[in-house]
Amino acid sequence: MSRIDRNLLNLVAGALALISAAGFAATSFAQEVKTGSPAVISLAEAIHRAQQNEPAFASALAAQKSAAIDRYLGKAALLPSVMYHNQVLYTQPKGQTNQVVQSGTQAAPIFIANNAVHEYISQASINETVGLKQFADAQVAAANAARASAELEVARRGLILSVVSLYYSVSALETKQHVLEEALHEAQAFTDLTQKREAAREGAHADVVKAQLQQQQRQRDLSDGTLAAEKTRLELAVLLFPDPRTPFSTEAAGSPPALPSREDVNRLASANNPEIRSALAGVQVSNAEVTAARAAYLPDLGLSFGYGIDAPQFAKNAPGEVSNLGYSISATLDIPVWDWFSTQKRIKQSEIKRDAARVTATAAQRRVIAALEEVYAEAVAARGQMDLLDLSVRTAEESLRLTKLRYSSGEATVFEVVDAETAYLSVETAQAEGVVRYQTALAGLQVLTGTL
């Protein structure tokens, strides 16, 4: 057998082994998903899991941490920097000697800028630059950190609102699924009743056909309801679990909490709103950028202090007990003179951004006020309709019972029974949706006020 044939056989064997291992892992994983007992997930746990798995929130959290580091770096830039500098220089000699303090006479280097043929530099250097731009840059970093913190809170509240909506939607759709199952059983029972009346020559065959059509419609409704419930469960499971197929159940919805007063909502929303904080932080960033741009008109003062050796010997003392240790201090003042109006254009550019940031801040305030009015009105309407929906369910249930009794006695038509069943199903579905509507509106208020 040739080498090529052996290599081909080894490749095929390896591929088969990988396929078998992958198939075994997939089978085991599928069995693990199927056999695992459903976990009961509370709303607080669902929010916590979503904060760990949702990529947009993770990006906002990373941006906030990065901005906090930038703020630290901006403050650190205002402090002196310390560096320990070490360097060895060798320069070609030019055949002459120089009289130097450290070692008497020595060979002169060929480059006039170098001090000796052998030169050793080992110095600690402290440097500091004093200017308005450094302070303005620190203000920009601090304002950016405040804005990133506000944006993180915005992302957190948006994620919470999404989780709350999905969480209660799962519960409501499961309730609707049970309602549709009961409606299907009701339709099947009514079909049996029409068939019995037809067999007893008390009803027409058209009643049986109408009841069968109603039963078939309920079967389609149940199929669609089951699919909608499964889609919503998967959408929520994507935020909660590594595998969306993980079985879980939500806690049963208790009695709806009371609606907070309008005064409390206005007070909390005005004192703790991340959208407004983010917009105001954007204004602070733009103001600091204007200051940083104007700082280019002012001089910068550079201070430097060095201590160590710069000598022909790498030693504390030179021959003749001459000390190589020493220090030097320098101060540099850079005064801007001409830059072809670049500073003026940068100032104009930053002022344009500042004006836009101010418009954004005022628009954010208007949006918050409008959102608060809208969400509170939605919560009031949803809370008021819940009692009406409960009453409607009881009324529709009694109407269906009486209509079926009248049909059994031959006083009502099949159309009246079908209409009563449809009305009962409609109000039961609306009741389940009403709970989600109120819980979502209430969560929106809690998100706006920062209490959730």
Class for the domain spanning 38-79+131-298+342-449: mainly alpha
CA pair distance 22, 6, nearest whole angstrom: 24
CA pair distance 228, 179, nearest whole angstrom: 14
Is the per-residue pLDDT at 355 higher than 60?
yes
According to the model, what pLDDT value does residue 233 have?
87
Residues 262-278 have a mean pLDDT of 76
Q: What is the DSSP string of 207-247?
A: HHHHHHHHHHHHHHHHHHHHHHHHHHHHHHHHHH-SSTT--
- Number of other CB atoms surrounding residue 318 within 10 Å: 18
- Residue 329 backbone phi and psi in degrees, to 5: -130, 135
CA pair distance 147, 153, nearest whole angstrom: 10
- Residue 163 backbone phi and psi in degrees, to 5: -65, -45
Distances (CA, A) of 128 to 59, 125, 302, 441: 35, 10, 6, 56
According to the model, what pLDDT value does residue 452 have?
66
Q: Where are the domains of the chain?
A: 38-79+131-298+342-449, 85-129+300-335
Residue 105: pLDDT band (50, 70, 90) is: low
Most confident of 61-70, 168-177, 374-383: 61-70
**Both tokens assigned to 51:** 């904060």
According to the model, what pLDDT value does residue 22 have?
41
CB 238 within 8 A of CB 230: no
% of the chain surpassing 70 pLDDT: 87
**Both tokens assigned to 407:** 């049909």
According to the model, what pLDDT value does residue 334 have?
87
According to the model, what pLDDT value does residue 27 have?
39
According to the model, what pLDDT value does residue 18 have?
46
More confident residue, 63 or 378: 63
Q: What is the pLDDT of residues 310-349, one digit of tens each?
A: 888 888 887 777 888 888 899 988 888 888 888 889 889 8
Strand 39-41 to strand 248-250: parallel, antiparallel, or no bridges (unpaired)? parallel
Is the per-residue pLDDT at 120 higher than 50?
yes
410: left (phi over 0), alpha (psi -120 to 50) or beta: left
Query: Considering the entire predicted model, what is its pTM?
Result: 0.70
Residues 208-236 have a mean pLDDT of 86
Give the CB-side neighbour count of residue 152, counting CA atoms within 13 A: 18
% of the chain surpassing 90 pLDDT: 0
Q: What is the pLDDT of residues 392-431, one digit of tens each?
A: 888 888 888 888 888 777 777 878 888 888 888 888 888 8
According to the model, what pLDDT value does residue 327 have?
87
Among 127-131, 133-137, 202-206, name the one with the lowest average pLDDT.
202-206
According to the model, what pLDDT value does residue 31 have?
40
Residues 378-386 have a mean pLDDT of 82
CB 444 within 8 A of CB 435: no
According to the model, what pLDDT value does residue 25 have?
39
According to the model, what pLDDT value does residue 348 have?
92
Contacts of 385 (CB under 8 A, 6+ apart): 434, 437
Is the per-residue pLDDT at 378 higher than 60?
yes
CA pair distance 12, 278, nearest whole angstrom: 59
CB 316 within 8 A of CB 323: yes
More confident residue, 52 or 255: 52
Q: Which residues of 182-200 are buried (b: 16+ CB within 10 A; e: fewer)?
A: ebbebbbebbebbbebbee
CB 274 within 8 A of CB 153: yes
CA pair distance 193, 208, nearest whole angstrom: 9
CA pair distance 49, 237, nearest whole angstrom: 10
According to the model, what pLDDT value does residue 14 have?
52
Is the per-residue pLDDT at 202 higher than 50?
yes
Q: What is the pLDDT of residues 26-42, one digit of tens each?
A: 433 434 344 456 778 88
According to the model, what pLDDT value does residue 144 have?
87
CB 330 within 8 A of CB 248: no
Helix (H, G, I), strand (E, B) or coil at 339: coil
Q: Which residues of 38-71 are buried (b: 16+ CB within 10 A; e: fewer)?
A: eeebebeebbebbbeebeebeebbebbeebbebb
CA pair distance 452, 449, nearest whole angstrom: 8
The mean predicted confidence, pLDDT, of the chain is 80
More confident residue, 262 or 140: 140
More confident residue, 272 or 213: 213
Task: Give the distance, in angstroms, between the CA of residue 224 and the centroid of all CA atoms in the same chain.
Answer: 32
CA pair distance 364, 383, nearest whole angstrom: 28
